[in-house]
Each structure stands twice: as C-alpha cells, then as structure tokens.
Amino acid sequence: MTEAVHRVAPRGFTGDQWDAFMDEGFLVFEDALTPDEVAYYLNAVDELAASDPNRRPDRTHTPGNVVERGKVWADLIDHPRHVGYPYDVYGELLKLHMSQVFIRPKGGSHNIWHPDGARGVPYGVFSPELPLQIKVGYWLTDLPRAKMGNFVYMPGSHRTHYMQGYDTHESVPGERIVTLRAGTMTLMHASLWHRVEPNESDVTRKNIFYAYCPSWICEGDRHRSSPEWLETLNREQRIIMRAYSGAYTRTKPPAEDSPLFLDRETGEASDPEADATVALHRQKRQTWVEKRMGVPYNGPLSHVFESRRPGDSPAAG
Ligand SMILES: O=C(O)CCC(=O)C(=O)O
C-alpha cells in the first residue's frame, strides 16, 4: 500500500560497467548530457560564481554544499541520470557526501596526487574492494588535450594505499590524462589516486562533482543542512542528505526513511528472503553490488572474499 508513493530505484550499473569501474577505478559516459543540458548547468555555474563577492576570475573557485544554492542544484541530489549508480553500492543507506562546482581558469591552482577519503589510514584499509565514496562528475567544457586543468588518474590505483608521486604534481608513467567533450559524465572510486593538470589554455574548465557515500560516513561539506532548506526537498532528496539531529541516526536511520527506493527488479520494498516479522527499516536489504558479488542474503561472507585472505597470498607464504 505504502509502496505506491515510493519510487523504484533509477537505472544503475550494467554488469560490464561495474566490472570496468572496479577494474579501472573510473568510468566514462560520453554524451550523458544534451547540449541544452550542458548550457543549463553552465548558466547555473556562472550564476553561482557571479554571486560570490570573493571570487577572483584568475583563481580556481570551488564552492561546496551547492545543493543549498538553488533548485538546479537540489535536483541533482536524486537525479535519475546518476543516482542509481551510487544506490547500487550504498543501497538504502545512500547519502550525499558533498556537492561541488569546480571552476579552473588558466593559471589557477591544481591538485597534487591523492586519493579521496581518509588520510593516514585510508578507506581502503577497511574496505579494500568497495569504494566508501563514489564521485559523479559532470563535465561542462570540452577538454580535448592535456594542460587544460584535466583530471588525471592512475588506472587501477584504487587497490593501493600508496603510490609514487604522492603529494606532488609529478607526471607518473601509466597515468591517464582525461580528455573529454562537454556533456560527459564520469564515476570515480574514492580510493583512486588522482591529480589535476595545470591549465595553460584559454579555456576555463567548469564541472560539477556530487560525491555519495554510506550514511554512516561523515559529511564532506556541511555539518547539518538548514532545516528550512530541507523542507523544500522531495522525500528522496531529504533522505539522501541524512540531516539527522541524532548522531547515531546516520547509522540506524528512522522508520520513515525506509524504503528510500523500491527494488529495481521486483518493485518491492523488501527482499524476497526478508523475514517479514522484522520491521522494514531494520530488515537487511541487499545492494545490487552484493548480489553481483554473490554475497548470500544470510550466509557467511567467507567464500566471497576467500581469495583475498592474507594467508592465501604468495607473499605471505
Ligand atoms: O578537479 C578535479 O579534477 C579533481 C579534484 C580533486 O582532486 C578532488 O575533488 O579530490
């Protein structure tokens, strides 16, 4: 009965896309935006920049928590073009980690090699396989060659906790300098090592990054969203912001936030294996990725991760 008011999870990964994402740490969707959509978002980026009295056109400008800056930005929180991909990984505990706009003019600052997430003890120590953040990128300017403020990454480096070049701008053998057309969408595994090219061109690079994580990871660009602004959101957007007053509520969300989405295949709020005597918000809901990895609904995890046990590696032997 309640199901009628809930949305089915939007489209997410195909098996091949997931395998490519996990192999490379990065996935590219060309022509994800139409030219009109590119123009729409470019206009919103320019309005955002113009509204900041501290912005210097010759400096890199990276406003955060942009979701609170207008409907165009709030609409991206649960946009069906991309939200199904992080939902496939974080499922019912999906949260928006941060929303950012990047404006990188000629000569502006550019980032050194780093992975996203925790320093010192990186995310990968606890989650060697799955990303604890996924960054969705929308690219609004053509970047046909290097030295245009391009995103640069080391393919497959999301499986390492350290790499040559850390903390430097150095070009490292094997790196990939991303060239793309305006309208491209990208997904990045948070543990992927990346840097940014200097911009020596006359094109100001403009793009949008919305990062997602499980709700129990801390927010990246806010402590708590404004309650008045939350009132303006639809149900799914409000849930995905996870603006709870109780700290532990992030870990154990309230009953009214379940389901976030209905299952894409079955259209149901519960998994077929679920124990119907357990309240919906306390039920286990398997993610698409768990199913893809062959994680059993209620069995041991050991067979899934068997090959990764330290005792199995030749180096440990
Ligand atoms: O601007 C970029 O391409 C990447 C920025 C970056 O390094 C980051 O957001 O962690």
Q: What is the DSSP letter of 262?
A: B
Whether residue 259 has a cis bond before it, omega within 30° of 0: yes
Between the CA of 196 and the centroid of ligand 1 the distance, in Å, is 7
Mutate which of 151, 176, 208 for ligand 1? The one with the most ligand atoms within 8 Å of its CB, which is 151
List phi, psi (to 5°) of 134.
-125, 130
Residue 187's SS3 state is strand
Between the CA of 301 and the centroid of ligand 1 the distance, in Å, is 34
CA nearest to 41, candidates 175, 161, 136, 117:
136
Ligand 1: nearest atom to the Cα of 111: 7
Mutate which of 66, 133, 153, 196 for ligand 1? The one with the most ligand atoms within 8 Å of its CB, which is 196
17 Cβ contact list (under 8 Å, min separation 6): 27
293 occurs within a structural domain: no
Sheet holding 194-196, edge to edge: 176-177, 151-153, 194-196
Q: Quick check: 99 and 76 in contact, CB under 8 A? A: yes
- The pLDDT assigned to 5 comes to 87
Find the domain containing 102 and state its range: 2-250
Please give the Cα distance from 36 to 69 (Å, whole number).
21
Ligand 1: nearest atom to the Cα of 110: 1
Q: Quick check: 64 and 98 in contact, CB under 8 A? A: yes
What pTM was computed for the model?
Answer: 0.94
96 occurs within a structural domain: yes
Q: State the Rg of the chain over Cα.
A: 20
Q: From atom 2 of ligand 1, which residue's Cα is the shortest distance away?
A: 151
Kindly state the tokens that stand for 110.
């550019």
- Counting the structural domains of the chain, the total is 1
261 occurs within a structural domain: no
Please give the Cα distance from 83 to 8 (Å, whole number).
12
Ligand 1: nearest atom to the Cα of 104: 1
Question: What b-and-e string marks burial along 28-41, b requiring 16 or more CB atoms within 10 Å of the CB?
Answer: bbeebbeeeebeeb
116 Cβ contact list (under 8 Å, min separation 6): 133, 135, 188, 190, 191, 192, 211
Q: From atom 10 of ligand 1, which residue's Cα is the shortest distance away?
A: 116
192 occurs within a structural domain: yes
CATH number, position 36: 2.60.120.620
260 occurs within a structural domain: no
21 occurs within a structural domain: yes
143 occurs within a structural domain: yes
Residue range 40-51, pLDDT digits in tens: 999 999 999 999
- The pLDDT assigned to 2 comes to 46
Between the CA of 222 and the centroid of ligand 1 the distance, in Å, is 18
Between the CA of 140 and the centroid of ligand 1 the distance, in Å, is 15
Between the CA of 311 and the centroid of ligand 1 the distance, in Å, is 36
Residues with CB under 6 A from ligand 1: 102, 111, 116, 151, 194, 196, 209
210 occurs within a structural domain: yes
Please give the Cα distance from 93 to 89 (Å, whole number).
9
Between the CA of 270 and the centroid of ligand 1 the distance, in Å, is 37
Between the CA of 182 and the centroid of ligand 1 the distance, in Å, is 17
Question: What secondary structure, in 3-state letters, does 82-131 show?
Answer: CCHHHHHHHHHHEEEEEEEEEEECCCCCCCCCECCCCCCCCHHHHCCCCC
Between the CA of 239 and the centroid of ligand 1 the distance, in Å, is 26
18, 136, 260 from 24: Cα distances, Å: 10, 15, 29
Ligand 1: nearest atom to the Cα of 62: 1
- The pLDDT assigned to 307 comes to 53
Q: Which residue has the tokens 């124990």?
A: 275
Other Cβ atoms less than 10 A from the Cβ of 211: the count is: 24
175, 225, 260, 286 from 98: Cα distances, Å: 26, 11, 19, 24
Q: Quick check: 269 and 258 in contact, CB under 8 A? A: yes
Q: List the chain residues with pLDDT less than 50.
A: 1-3, 310-317
